[in-house]
Structure 1
Amino acid sequence: MQLSWSQSCSWMIQLLLVSNLLLWECVVSRPMCLDIEGCNKLSLQELFDHAIVIAQYTSNLTTQMSEEFDENFAKSLGYKARNSSICHTTSLATLEINEQIQQTQSDELLKVMISISRAWYHPLEHLVRAVAALKGTCETMLSKIKEVEEKNQELLEEMKRILVRVHPGAEENAYPAWMGLAEVRSANEDTHHFALSNLLHCLRSDNDKVVTYLEVVKCQVIHNNNC
């Protein structure tokens, strides 16, 4: 028997509560520093571990969100096949091949991660509003995107602390501006849904990169590349 949209939402809420509770136990095990002095008391490994847990948690939420959106708003229009994967962060010198990532200096990887996180500040603001306005939006989807927005900011602060600790005096790179607001606000439903689908796919891809980069930098800094 096929579940109605409201029944699906109810089922997904229960599933989300269970899965996110398990992940959140790890995230809250080391609370985020609210002051510089408190952060300085944490070891470098503790900073890395906490940042990686937040990044993995955010990546998991983003994956759920992207799949949920495509299933309920984009599946019938074949957006996955049409998705051009053009992201506003494409201009950043991100690395896809594992060997290249491992050979990149830790300060450069940290700067790229910080730029990625900064580049999502405004898109996430508008993504929250757009998802909230979607007709038939499941409450779980909205709660996820709000949490991703919050975690992106937390992760940004964690990565900045790591950069300062590992490379004192290092200057952050510029980050690319997002120019997709017109499509996200489009009155044309197809254009609107495609813009949101593409934005979620880009967000998912960038979150995955941050997780990978963080793990590589931790290996470089904490374990001297012996991982």
Structure 2
Amino acid sequence: MAHARCHGRKSFITVLYMVAVCGGIPINDLLDRASQHSDKLHSLSTTLAHELDSHFTPMGRMIMPRPSACHTSSLQTPSDKEQALQVSESDLLSLARSLLQAWVDPLVILSSSANTLPHPAQSKIINKIHELQEHSKNLGDGLNILSGKMDPTAQTISSLPYRGSNDIGQDKLSKLIKFHFLLSCFRRDSHKIDSFLKVLRCRAAKMQPHLC
């Protein structure tokens, strides 16, 4: 039975589950798969941001909140790769998990709000938001398993509650601004998550720091 499970589907979360059951996949292989999903997450959010940019007015750009207003801004994270290389593996994984967890509720808001978003590519945006949710869930499940294979620090998650309204606004401009702002914050955080996981993957492969 266990042997059969070890030859099941090769999806990300299935493979990570098999590791928990069968214990046969090295941690650097797990990090390879995790970084592939985080890369997809950032790529999707970047594509979505470009879709919105194509229909965003100059006035909207002027009054959109600054990145410091993102609900995850209170989390102290490395500002670049050089700083990330100075952070322990467990702390980096903890930061990635904290950021990912902080977006569970806001992604639900983006998903529900996309149905009324005044944008010509609305259907495409809806589909990509659903993809973001799916990849976030799978990546989060995978990182939970990875954290159990590392120092207990990796299992620590900082609380970063989203305190914004579930309503993205009533008029066209306010809807576009709030939706764009939330997505911009997610894009920024998905880039951090992807960067942290790539540093972890690099370390697991014992590559030289300048190659990370």
TM-score by length of 2: 0.83
Q: Report the alpha carbon displacement of residue 157 of structure 1 after superposing the two structures with TM.
A: 1.3
Gaps of 5+ in 2: 1-8
Structure 1 Cα separation of the partners of residues 62 and 138 of structure 2: 30
The answer to whether the Cα contact below 8 Å between 1:117 and 1:156 also exists between their aligned partners in 2 is yes
* Matched residue, 2:116: 133
Structure 2 Cα separation of the partners of residues 224 and 98 of structure 1: 14
Instruction: Map residues 45-84 of structure 1 onto 2, 5 A cutoff.
Output: 45-72=28-55, 74-79=56-61, 82-84=64-66
Q: Report the alpha carbon displacement of residue 36 of structure 1 after superposing the two structures with TM.
A: 6.5
Structure 2 Cα separation of the partners of residues 169 and 105 of structure 1: 10
Cα shift readout 1:148-190 (whole Å, capped 9, x = no counterpart): 01101111111122221122575322221011225x4322433
* Matched residue, 1:112: 95
* Matched residue, 1:212: 195
Structure 1 Cα separation of the partners of residues 208 and 181 of structure 2: 35
Q: Report the alpha carbon displacement of residue 84 of structure 1 after superposing the two structures with TM.
A: 0.8
Cα shift readout 1:67-110 (whole Å, capped 9, x = no counterpart): 111212x2343426744112111111111122211101111110
Gaps of 5+ in 1: 1-28
TM-score by length of 1: 0.78
Instruction: Map residues 11-22 of structure 1 onto 2, 5 A cutoff.
Output: none
Structure 2 Cα separation of the partners of residues 167 and 185 of structure 1: 40
Instruction: Map residues 144-223 of structure 1 onto 2, 5 A cutoff.
Output: 144-167=128-151, 170-182=154-166, 184-223=167-206
* Matched residue, 1:6: none
Query: CA, structure 1 residues 32+132, in 2 after alignment: closer, same or farther (shift >3 Å)?
Result: same
Cα shift readout 1:112-155 (whole Å, capped 9, x = no counterpart): 10000000000001101111222345221111111001101111
Structure 2 Cα separation of the partners of residues 104 and 142 of structure 1: 36
* Matched residue, 1:124: 107
Cα shift readout 1:166-215 (whole Å, capped 9, x = no counterpart): 22575322221011225x43224333221111101101001111111001
Number of aligned residue pairs: 197
1:96 aligns with 2:79: yes
- What fraction of aligned residue pairs are identical, expressed as a percent? 22
The answer to whether the Cα contact below 8 Å between 1:62 and 1:148 also exists between their aligned partners in 2 is yes
The answer to whether the Cα contact below 8 Å between 1:52 and 1:214 also exists between their aligned partners in 2 is yes
